[in-house]
A and B are shown apart, each in its own frame.
Chain A
Amino acid sequence: NAGVMQNPRHLVRRRGQEARLRCSPMKGHSHVYWYRQLPEEGLKFMVYLQKENIIDESGMPKERFSAEFPKEGPSILRIQQVVRGDSAAYFCASSPVPGQGIDGNTIYFGEGSWLTVV
């Protein structure tokens, strides 16, 4: 679990500003997932990425939110023109290349990034 690094841990933004959250997956993991946890609610899947590819973004709001996982560097979740409703904890997780074996389903979470919009 300690291998998935997220930063910043806490971020405060004013309404209308941009928020950028970064995630470095565990070494050797090429699959990254972003989840959002709203206050008093469960975690919700947002987007699933591989290097340079968005595999599934069905959980991501259509506007203001974007994600990337470049060939070099961390995955970035970007929220433009933040609103109060974006205040939440954003978790990144990574997994090895999924295969037929159970190990392919192992998933590791980062410590989360807490975004507060004021």
Chain B
Amino acid sequence: KNEVEQSPQNLTAQEGEFITINCSYSVGISALHWLQQHPGGGIVSLFMLSSGKKKHGRLIATINIQEKHSSLHITASHPRDSAVYICAVRPYSGGGADGLTFGKGTHLIIQP
């Protein structure tokens, strides 16, 4: 079982719909990132969370530390939102890896 699970794996929606992408993790973390990756492109960090909720434009990210769960919401979705959305956690290091552990990503397609 992966330490970071995302759902759904694939999502196709119509322009204007409200989108929710979920991320569950099984380890203690110091931070959680939501990343966006366009086809053939680089990775952009959308949010970094350690508690509560953050909003940037039409994007909202929430995290529940007790339940080890985070959600990424997109309001009034647009075709340019089509991308892979990746959840990544930073586990407490404790002498181990200091990098991030990633989910496999959610492939989002917004149709006009």
Contacts and interface: CB of A to CB of B under 8 A. Distances in A.
B79 interface: no
Contacts of B31: 102, 105
A38 to B, nearest CB: 11
Given A1-B44, A111-B42, A48 B98 contact: yes
B99 A109 contact: no
Contacts, number: 69
A1 B42 CA distance: 9
Please classify how large the interface on chain A is, using the bins under 10, 10 to 19, 20 to 34, 35 or more.
20 to 34
B35 A58 contact: no
Interface in B67-86: 86
Interface of A: 1, 33, 35, 41-46, 48, 55-56, 58-59, 91, 98, 102, 105-112
